[in-house]
Structure 1
């Protein structure tokens, strides 16, 4: 998305203010409130993108690796998921809100392509900036004056530089969950995926990425096997947890080890997240032993 987005002109007295403000209130209410929208909308975007990347099945780890048709499908997926999130019905365009025909436009770039049938109608503008892990949700009346003069081969026009001032933002430059693989050094990624077995890849992941929650989706992507959860369990000395214990590393799951995670002063883990750590004190070793772990004894 553009780095410098101008301040919105949608204030009382603007010709689009009353319409867009009423839609903003309706959308926010349908989402369950401002705070819920700020939580659920970014999570929805992350799911839409990751479900198309399909790392566990394809080995791909980022948006740039997608085929052109897959990138286009993300827009369709966002439209479907956003309607579901807000409990909206289909309409003559993409949906109807307060008796207004509304188009839903998504971009992973810096602008949106507005089709001719959406001109002079309200558009919900959705954007995800994967490199910066920021997202956007806005409303605009796609008036001709707000659009570029030039059209693409499909007759679509973009929001003009001045047109950006006529967007009412619900979320602007708002953080959303980063693509996990963008946060990991490429050398570590190569080290993880150079291992031949699921257990070895999982052990490499949790050795390298200690003291931070790891999602179930990442575990599935690294295991690259149907029964991926088996990889994080003990397995007669050969499971991931066994391999890590031999190195003095605990592998904990939010659902099973919430109290131990808290006692170890580790970051909070949701029930579907995992975290590894290396206990360094006698007290931490005793707590681990009481929870059923068998770490090598420390001196003293």
Structure 2
């Protein structure tokens, strides 16, 4: 969805010294419970809100209009504000650890646009900032499931300059809104939170499905339930989240769609496991990922003998294991509410 210019490529697991003026902000994030986990989900939720899959059926950033794409930065700021309960800053978006800081998002790594009000520059007169201000710069790429967040103090020197076409002199590289981007050399001045490039933006299942599989899932234009059934018929062994079910169904109440799929697919040998007690037990027994509330995982099962070495669960004295592709289907068992042994 976004681009990563060569000059802005960053690594994972960076070891960086924290600039003194950014230490309070870095320490604040380090002190928050599960800050990294909460941050990445705030980014995921921001994009999902714009996609509005339940109403539109959209599942990719490229489906957004130009106007909607420009709003993504606002959505990121709003969701981070809600998640971390940031107070309004005196002059900027937030106050963190007693200091003002602005939130900047760009779909292109390095593409953050900085207004005059964020840095000192005598040439700006009354429009210059009260100081060289701090910024939290954020980025995500849903196509690669990557994201990053960093801290930088904005200065005139760290922003882009260009050569004037008439005089050849260096002048500030403003855009039409009198904003400037960070120059390439400013990358070294960013302190990247959590060690730099992150490779675990919560995965967009529909985006990363095989195109033929996705086409089959959406091949029932008049029935949301049929699409959900096909989703669980096609996607086995992978966690399916609430947002995915809502996008496929384009209806309310994802849990009901999953429950109805469970009933409809049992005759085909397919279990749709949720977060309930016995379901989690079965997922663990089959060595699958374990769903939490708002998640499901589908698996086709077959009865097996004691000589079979596959992971299994037992129900009413019968062993069940994950089916191999070539094995003929048989109806899956009805699962109890309580833990099975």
Normalised by the size of structure 1, how large is the TM-score? 0.85
Larger Cα-atom Rg: 2
2: CA distance, partners of 1:274 / 1:289: 26
- Alignment-derived partner of residue 94 in structure 2: 95
1: CA distance, partners of 2:150 / 2:114: 14
2: CA distance, partners of 1:272 / 1:156: 42
Normalised by the size of structure 2, how large is the TM-score? 0.76
User: Gapped runs of 5+ residues in structure 1?
Assistant: 234-238
Distance 1:270 1:159, change over 3 A: same
2: CA distance, partners of 1:212 / 1:160: 41
- Alignment-derived partner of residue 293 in structure 2: 271
- Alignment-derived partner of residue 133 in structure 1: 145
Q: Give CA-to-partner distance per residue, 1:199-243, whole Å, 9 cap, x none.
A: 21111101110111111111111111224432222xxxxx42233
Distance 1:273 1:84, change over 3 A: same
Q: Which of the two has greater helix per residue? A: 1
- Alignment-derived partner of residue 50 in structure 1: 48
- Alignment-derived partner of residue 104 in structure 2: 105
- Alignment-derived partner of residue 168 in structure 1: 191
Instruction: Output the aligned Cα RMSD.
Output: 2.6
- Partner-residue secondary structure (3-state), 2:276: helix
2: CA distance, partners of 1:9 / 1:118: 28
Distance 1:260 1:98, change over 3 A: closer
- Alignment-derived partner of residue 216 in structure 1: 242
Mean alpha-carbon deviation: is it higher for 222-231 or for 177-186? Answer: 222-231
Find the partner of 2:71 among 70, 73, 78: 73
Distance 1:39 1:2, change over 3 A: farther
Find the partner of 1:157 among 180, 191, 199: 180
User: Gapped runs of 5+ residues in structure 2?
Assistant: 120-131, 162-172, 306-311, 319-329, 334-341
- Alignment-derived partner of residue 245 in structure 1: 266
Q: Give CA-to-partner distance per residue, 1:256-298, whole Å, 9 cap, x none.
A: 51112222222221122111111133365853898xxxx5389
The answer to whether the 8 Å contact 1:220/1:229 transfers is no
Distance 1:93 1:242, change over 3 A: same
Task: State whether structure 2 residue 9 is matched by structure 1 residue 11.
Answer: no
Aligned residues: 282
Distance 1:232 1:99, change over 3 A: closer
1: CA distance, partners of 2:206 / 2:332: 34
1: CA distance, partners of 2:316 / 2:56: 37
